[in-house]
Amino acid sequence: MTTSAEEHKSPFVGGDVPDEAYRQISEVLREQQNFILDGYKDLCIKRRIAARIRAVGESCAEGYVEKLAASEKEQRQLLTALSIHVSHFFRNPSTFRMLEKKVLPELLRRAVQQKSKLRIWSVGCANGEEPYSLALLCKKMKIEAEQMSIIATDLSPEALQRAKRGCYEANRLRELSEEQLESFFTVRQQQYCLHEEIRRLVRFFRHDILSDQPFYRADLILCRNVLIYFSREQQQRILQILAAALPEGGYLVLGRAETLVSSCRELFRCIDPAERVYQRLKKEEQLLPTSLVQQLQNF
Ligand SMILES: C[S@@+](CC[C@H](N)C(=O)[O-])C[C@H]1O[C@@H](n2cnc3c(N)ncnc32)[C@H](O)[C@@H]1O
């Protein structure tokens, strides 16, 4: 017969982090990293925490909680493990073709009429692949740097650091042509490093779309493969924030596996169901507290 002490010595298996350990982990992240785990889908997150417990060689979730509480480094590593930064340049190329043919020309015309800049926001930009793809697309469309502004935000400081460096392994660039690789990248230590000419078109900021206040008004928002991490209630909150950041007629692009939660369907018109492209309908500013709406207007 095994005693409970002996059971604790066996390696941590499975994906089922006990509820109490999960609660303590989320408390540590909230208190020490200002990161709110509540909205995220429990199962998905528990699987990733379990993988992290195995990776550090702990045999039980309780031991891991102690390690986590004592180590800032482990807290950052867990956050990185929780929000995977998988992406590549021109992910879902047909979505970028749709942007090139329909969305960007229309928005550019509107910006010229209004004597304003074309404003693009990449939410959950990971290592920069998505906003840099937009910058390359704008370059291809001969949109001048002065005519546009591309903002890219993510929760993870590590991902943002990599994004600012702009150096990638070849597999992240598989959708790019030889010509694009030669024109815009320099190979350094087996990595492709994006030229300053493109990097300077994108400004990166740390921003938590769930708990930080919205800070940017945009004509086009890409929020792809981010909603999948959140519960329906949190998706609703995020979509309301994005809707408030868009003017009437502004565009929102979601990831291929994502869709509008039903409570947000009256905010957007679906333009292309396959590419998950939506257009903002008439603004209803009461969606957000007045203070936030004013902040957006003043930006
Ligand atoms: C799978 S990547 C998506 C990258 C890119 N948008 C794409 O579709 O290829 C998801 C990104 O969302 C970020 N993320 C997760 N939760 C977030 C939050 N609350 N606020 C901002 N970014 C978040 C993660 O750090 C990660 O970089």
| Atom 14 of ligand 1: nearest residue by CA position | 124
CB 204 within 8 A of CB 134: no
| Atom 12 of ligand 1: nearest residue by CA position | 124
CATH of the domain spanning 4-82:
1.10.155.10
Residue 286: pLDDT band by 50, 70, 90 thresholds?
very low
Higher pLDDT, 287 or 151: 151
Residues facing 167 on adjacent strands: 193
Mean pLDDT score, 49-64:
91
Task: Provide the pLDDT for residue 122.
Answer: 98
- Mutational pocket test of ligand 1: of 30, 154, 241, the residue with most ligand atoms within 8 Å of the beta carbon: 154
Task: Provide the pLDDT for residue 4.
Answer: 46
Residue 247 pLDDT > 70: yes
Give CA–CA dist 71/294, Å, rounded: 39
Mean pLDDT score, 176-199:
97
Q: What are phi and psi of 221, to 5 degrees?
A: -120, 130
Q: In the chain, list all ranges with CATH 3.40.50.150.
A: 93-298
CA 158 – ligand 1 centroid, Å: 12
- Which range scores top for mean pLDDT: 76-90, 131-145, 219-233? 131-145
Residue 77: pLDDT band by 50, 70, 90 thresholds?
confident
Residue of 287, 289, 282 lying closest to 268 (CA atoms): 282
Give CA–CA dist 248/60, Å, rounded: 51
Residue 109 pLDDT > 90: yes
CA 4 – ligand 1 centroid, Å: 39
Residue 292: pLDDT band by 50, 70, 90 thresholds?
low
Q: In the chain, list all ranges with CATH 1.10.155.10.
A: 4-82
Residue 298: pLDDT band by 50, 70, 90 thresholds?
very low
- Mutational pocket test of ligand 1: of 35, 77, 83, 235, the residue with most ligand atoms within 8 Å of the beta carbon: 83
| Atom 15 of ligand 1: nearest residue by CA position | 83
Residues facing 277 on adjacent strands: 253, 272
What CATH topology corresponds to 93-298?
A: Rossmann fold (3.40.50)
CB 198 within 8 A of CB 139: yes
Task: Provide the pLDDT for residue 31.
Answer: 86
Q: What are phi and psi of 230, to 5 degrees?
A: -110, 155
